[in-house]
Structure 1
Amino acid sequence: MASALMWEAKAAPGRGAALLEWARARSLDPAPERRETFTAPQDRVLVITWWPEHVAEPPELPEPPEELVARPPHRWRFTPVDP
């Protein structure tokens, strides 16, 4: 795998379940090789996607509706390092 993308957002008060549902319902085209979704304290949602080398610009999750988040999502792109 050539890269991993992380997307993390903090839900607006009382909107954690709705933000999680929103994130899980978003599809990406093309689809990643692997995708995992996590939750954390304070109604945070984390999505990690893994992409092959031939996908030069992997798509990211879009901005969620304003009413679902306490702040804009954080996004990071990572590339593997030889052991």
Structure 2
Amino acid sequence: MTVALMWEARAVDGRGERLLAWARAQDLAQEPLRRETFRAPGDRVLVITWWDAAYDAELPELPEPDGELVGRAVHRWRFESVAAS
């Protein structure tokens, strides 16, 4: 089964590039099948990692960044793949 972990954070105004650099520099304890990093208006950063694992498996996730970088708590979601094309 493929599981995708999504990690999304909103930077403090004007710190989007620093948050993006921080997220890209974070190493995980294990290597995922795939990892993508995105940015969006409003200084938001999204990281998606794909894993060959059970839905409820313990998987490494990005930590919470320093409070000086983010304006709110990080949002996290877990999804199970049901189809690919």
Task: Tell me whether the two structures share a fold, i.e. TM-score over 0.5.
Answer: yes
Which residue does the alignment assign to 1:58? 59
TM-score normalised to structure 1 length: 0.92
TM-score normalised to structure 2 length: 0.90
Which residue does the alignment assign to 2:79? 78
In structure 1, stretches of 5+ residues that fail to align are: none
Aligned residues: 83
Q: Does 1:67 align with 2:73?
A: no
- Which runs of 4 or more aligned residues in structure 1 lie more than 3 Å from their structure 2 counterparts after TM superposition? none
One-letter amino acid matched to 1:66:
G
Which residue does the alignment assign to 1:3? 3
1:8-46, Cα deviation, whole Å (9 max, x unpaired): 000001110100010000010111110000000001000
Question: What percentage of aligned pairs have identical amino acids?
Answer: 65
One-letter amino acid matched to 1:73:
V
| Root-mean-square deviation (Å) | 1.7
